[in-house]
Each structure stands twice: as C-alpha cells, then as structure tokens.
Chains A and B, each alone.
Chain A
Amino acid sequence: MDLKDLYRDVIVDHNRHPRNFGKLQPADVHADGHNPLCGDRLTMYANLKGEHITDVKFEGAGCAISVASASLLTEAVKGKTKSEVKELFDDVHALLTQHDATVDPAKLGKLAALSGVREFPARVKCASLCWHTLNAALDRAAEPVTTE
C-alpha cells in the first residue's frame, strides 16, 4: 500500500481547494448524503436542461477522499446527460472496487486519480458517497442517502 497512490496530488489539491463548492440557488434538484461511519455529510445540487446537467455544486464536510471525489465529480459531470452520468458512475465504481477493472483511463480523465482508493477498502465509501448522492438527486429521491 503506497500512501501516495491514495493521496495523489490531484486529490490533495481538490481537497484543499474544492471546485464548485457551495450552494446552488436556485437548484432544480438536490439531495443529502451521509456516511454515518465517519460522519461525512454532503449536499449535491444540480440544474438541468432537459436531460443535460447544466450546473452542479456541492457543499458539506468530510475527509479528503470524500471532498476531493465530490469536487472531481462536479468537474466531470457538467454538460453531460443523466444517462451519461450513470454510465460514468458505473465506471468510477468499477475503478474504486475492482482490481482488474477494464475502464479506459482516458474516458475518466482526472477521475482516474481515485484509482488508489481500491487499495484501501475502508475508504471506498468515502469516494462513492457523492456519486450516490448525485444519483439520488437526479432520481429526485426524497429520502437522504446513506452509504451504510
């Protein structure tokens, strides 16, 4: 286990300076996410035009992995359609959990920096919380999501 694989420069940077951080007002959809194990709390906001995500922001507090993952997510999904986002989530999930994941790094762009997380199984939930939360927002789920 190499720590530098987990806390890559991109991750450390996005934790220190999260992009698209704050409340989106007004927001077409939003959802709260909570990881009770470590206390991470995130709210994801998005504006939609038809199937397209025109804007996305997040706020909350959590560990470096959860904050950086949310920040990277916002950069990755802006302009994508809902179904493209779900596809991307599947790829990210494979990247986070499978050693033999055959995900094309080029497709993932900066999100590929999260690949080190799979060496730290206790931290997978930190990285996936924002994705579950955004999905819930897009599904307009009324209930807050939790990764427990």
Chain B
Amino acid sequence: MNAAVPATRNGTPADATAFDVEAIRRDFPILHQTVNGKPLVYLDNAASSQRPKSVIEAISRYYENDHANVHRGVHTLSQRATDAYEGARETIRRFINARDTKEIVFVRGTTEAVNLVAQSFARTGFQPGDEILISALEHHANIVPWQLLREQIGAVLKVIPINEQGEVDFVEFEKLIGPRTRLLALAHVSNALGTIVPVEKFIKVAKQHGVPVLLDGAQAIPHTAVDVQALGCDFYCFSSHKMLGPTGMGVLYGKRELLEKMPPWQGGGDMILSVSFEKTTFNQLPWKFEAGTPHIAGAIGLATAIDYLEKIGMDRIAAYEHELLVYATERLSQLPGLRIVGTAPEKAAVVSFMLEGIHPHDIGTILDTEGVAIRTGHHCAMPVMDFFKIPATARASMSFYNTREEIDRLVTALEHTRQVLG
C-alpha cells in the first residue's frame, strides 16, 4: 500500500532552499557524535528535541551568575533571577501572542497543564453528567486526567472517532457536541501519526455551542507559528523540552477571565499574598497557580529556545520540515512491505510506519546499531494503536536540524533490517 505523499506547499521553496541546515546543526553539540560506531541520526524529535548551545549556555550562565530565589529577596541576585524569570514569561506571551503575561502559567509540562485545567477549572465547575469531548487521536496526557475527573465528579468522557487516514471525524464531532458538553479538549497535532488537526473549524463550532476549548499543543508549537488569539482557544498547553528548551518545564496559556475564576490547585509558597491560620489570601495571576519555588532556569532556558526559534523563523522551520516530510514519505513509501500509518493530507514531520513481518521493536534495535534513533511502541497513544489494530509502530519524527541525507540513512538502515530478519 502506498501512502499519499503530502503535497508540496506553494510559496515556500525559495525560503526553504536558502535554509542553511549545516550552520544550524553546528549549534547543536549533541548531534556531532557517533552511536555504535556510526554518526548519530536523531529522528526521535516528537519524543524530545535536542538543545542548541545558546540554551545550554543560558542555563549555565544563570546558575553561574544570577541564581537566587524569585519574588522574595531585596538583594541583587534575587532581583536578577526575578527579572529573568518574569522576562521569560513576556517572551512566551509574545511568542504565542497572548494578550497578557497573566495568562502565562508556568508548569512542568503539557501533562501538568492539562491536569491543572482538569483539577481546577473542570473539577470545581462541572456537574455530574457534564461531558468532556476529546478525540481518538489523543496522547494519554489528554485522556487520563479526564478519566480521573470522571471518577472524582461523575463527568462523562466522549470520544470523537478518527478515520483510516488518522483524521478526526468532523461530522461525528458535530453530532457529539451538545447541551451537556462543557469542554472540548483536542490535540493540535497528533504525536503518534503527525496529523495536523484543523482545530480552527472545531473551535468555531464549539464557540457556537458556548463550549470552551483546550488544545494540547505539545506537538504543534515546535513546528508551526501559534497565535492563541487568532485560534480563539481558551487553554493552550505545551512543553519546553519538545521545542529546544529544558525538561520539566511547560506552559499553560489560559484566557484571563477563566483563570481569574479558577481556584488554585496546589497550595504553598509563592501562590499566596498573606497566610494566617484563619485565612489565606491567594496571590494574583499567574502566581496563584505557581506554588513553591518554580523552575527558574527552566523558564530562562525556554525563553532562550524561543529566541533561537524566532531567529530562524517559525514559517521557515515549518516550510523546511514539510520538505523533509515529503521526502521521507516518498523514500519510505518505495520500500517494499512498508506501510505508513497516518496518511492525513496535513501532517507535521512525523512518519509512523510498519514493516511487513518485522515487529517495530526489532526495527528500533537494529536501527540503533546503525546509529539511527527512532521511537518504537505505542507512543503513549494506545487507543490510536487499537484503532489501527496494531500493537505498536516505528516512528521517525523530524526537526529542522535533520537533513535529507539522514533520511537516506534511515532508508538504508531499514533495508539492512530486512536483511537481518528477512
């Protein structure tokens, strides 16, 4: 079966050819090593991206020169740390075009952002029988928090089906949304298949029903420009480590009027204005949701990653990665017995595939001995695997520092895999 090759997008080739990938690769120290005696080919970017020198150095510089706790001391270091931490919030606000830094809440990652919305917004506002609508494409991070909520308050979880191409079924969505729907929680881009979900049209219908929308943007934001005001979503969740920043860091964007009404979900230092044993007054947004000493270096690293991405330009990144996707899809489709899983016309640079008669786990091991790093397994999206009636896939996910030559190396390594197990 041949997969549909995504169309080349118009109006971008000039930009894409001017893309100096070799210069970019020099900024990423980790890429320049051998693994099992072969030059590393890192194609597991949907699991976690790598970091440019500027991010690594910004974190070191912070710890070497400026570290102290934030929002507390009157001394110089505390002021510097606070300025850097809050400066990072402004960088992120600008990057996603939020109206106000009060709408940028720092969390540990996408997973924590979704859990925060579930435990604060939904748990206190929803009634038994209220419905949360998700899709069959979701990562476990946008499934399990809602199942926990279902246990806690008796909410109902409804799932929009997907089709054989891996697209979310819009017609079914229009049937499922109704008077009891209290939230639409949707992946912006599928981690397992790469499908770019046309969230704009889903949001439009949700708005007609007065239903707030949460987007899981973990896989979208590293690869495309995101404007939360243009999207009109109410919550947008993403992780730093998939967009060149440190691990353990992420962002919940929420519309101010919603965040204002939401109660804190964790208590502690930094999230209060005053505490006595009789009464505690909570801090303002966004600190109301940031209990305890935050990941200061994480915020600084993320802001530096954003500076790096913006210097290249999100549009140029998207155009170059799309070229890689088209090339990888063409090359892989030519391999006998290879089936691409997820063939939506609009995809991020992710190719999930099966090789006839060879288990994905064996592919992963053999590719590793050739220096090629891919992900194999269910990609934390077991319902997606169940839909396609497969236990797992092999997944190559590309970033703007990958090259056509690396995709050639992947293809050669897959041919070698077949020789070993053929």
Chain B residues positioned under 8 Å from A118 (CB to CB):
none
A40 within 8 A of B: yes
CA gap between A104 and B377 in the complex, in Å: 35
- Contact of B369 with A3 in the complex, beta carbons under 8 Å: yes
- Contact of B369 with A15 in the complex, beta carbons under 8 Å: no
Given contacts A1-B369, A3-B369, A61-B391, contact A39 B378 (CB under 8 A): yes
In the A-B complex, the 9 residue pairs with the smallest Cβ-Cβ separation, listed nearest first, are A39-B391, A63-B359, A63-B361, A38-B361, A39-B392, A3-B369, A64-B362, A63-B362, A7-B420
CB distance from A134 to the nearest CB of B (A): 21
Chain A residues positioned under 8 Å from B361 (CB to CB):
38, 40, 62-63, 65, 123, 126
Chain B residues positioned under 8 Å from A40 (CB to CB):
361, 391
B2 within 8 A of A: no
Chain B residues positioned under 8 Å from A6 (CB to CB):
365
CA gap between A120 and B362 in the complex, in Å: 11
Contact with A along B371-408 (1 / 0, CB 8 A): 00000111000000100001110000000000000000
- Contact of A38 with B421 in the complex, beta carbons under 8 Å: no
B222 within 8 A of A: no
B366 within 8 A of A: yes
A106 within 8 A of B: no
B360 within 8 A of A: yes
CA gap between A38 and B365 in the complex, in Å: 12
B17 within 8 A of A: no
Chain A residues positioned under 8 Å from B360 (CB to CB):
38, 63
CB distance from B381 to the nearest CB of A (A): 12
CB distance from B419 to the nearest CB of A (A): 10
15 more contacts with CB within 8 A, not counting A3-B365, A38-B391, are A1-B36, A6-B365, A7-B362, A7-B421, A12-B421, A38-B376, A38-B377, A39-B385, A39-B391, A40-B361, A64-B421, A65-B362, A122-B365, A123-B365, A126-B361
Partner of A120, one of B358, B365, B378, B391: B365
- Contact of B391 with A41 in the complex, beta carbons under 8 Å: yes
A37 within 8 A of B: yes
CB distance from B26 to the nearest CB of A (A): 29
CB distance from A13 to the nearest CB of B (A): 11
- Contact of A3 with B420 in the complex, beta carbons under 8 Å: yes
- Residues of chain B touching chain A, judged by Cβ–Cβ distance below 8 Å, are 36, 358-362, 365-366, 369, 376-378, 385, 390-392, 420-421
CB distance from A128 to the nearest CB of B (A): 14
CA gap between A64 and B417 in the complex, in Å: 12
Q: Which chain B residue shows the least CB distance to A7?
A: B420
CB distance from B193 to the nearest CB of A (A): 16
CB distance from A113 to the nearest CB of B (A): 15
Chain A residues positioned under 8 Å from B369 (CB to CB):
1, 3
Which of B365, B376, B420, B421: most chain A Cβ within 10 A? B365
Chain B residues positioned under 8 Å from A7 (CB to CB):
362, 366, 420-421
Q: Which chain B residue shows the least CB distance to A3?
A: B369
Chain A residues positioned under 8 Å from B365 (CB to CB):
3, 6, 120, 122-123
Chain B residues positioned under 8 Å from A3 (CB to CB):
365-366, 369, 420
CA gap between A126 and B359 in the complex, in Å: 12
Chain A residues positioned under 8 Å from B378 (CB to CB):
39
Chain B residues positioned under 8 Å from A39 (CB to CB):
377-378, 385, 390-392
Q: Which chain A residue shows the least CB distance to B392?
A: A39
Q: Which chain A residue shows the least CB distance to B391?
A: A39
Contact with B along A60-73 (1 / 0, CB 8 A): 01111100000000
Chain A residues positioned under 8 Å from B420 (CB to CB):
3, 7, 12
CB distance from B369 to the nearest CB of A (A): 5
Chain A contacts with B in 50-85, Cβ cutoff 8 A: 61-65
Which of A63, A64, A120: most chain B Cβ within 10 A? A63
Q: Which chain B residue shows the least CB distance to A41?
A: B391
CA gap between A122 and B385 in the complex, in Å: 21
CA gap between A1 and B359 in the complex, in Å: 20
CA gap between A120 and B365 in the complex, in Å: 8
Q: Which chain A residue shows the least CB distance to B366?
A: A3
Partner of A37, one of B36, B377, B385, B421: B377
Chain A contacts with B in 108-122, Cβ cutoff 8 A: 120, 122
Pairs across A and B, CB under 8 Å, 6 listed: A6-B365, A38-B361, A38-B392, A39-B385, A62-B359, A63-B361
Chain A residues positioned under 8 Å from B392 (CB to CB):
38-39
CA gap between A61 and B377 in the complex, in Å: 14
Chain A residues positioned under 8 Å from B362 (CB to CB):
7, 63-65
CA gap between A41 and B385 in the complex, in Å: 14
- Contact of A15 with B421 in the complex, beta carbons under 8 Å: yes
CA gap between A63 and B361 in the complex, in Å: 6
Contact with B along A1-16 (1 / 0, CB 8 A): 1010011000010010
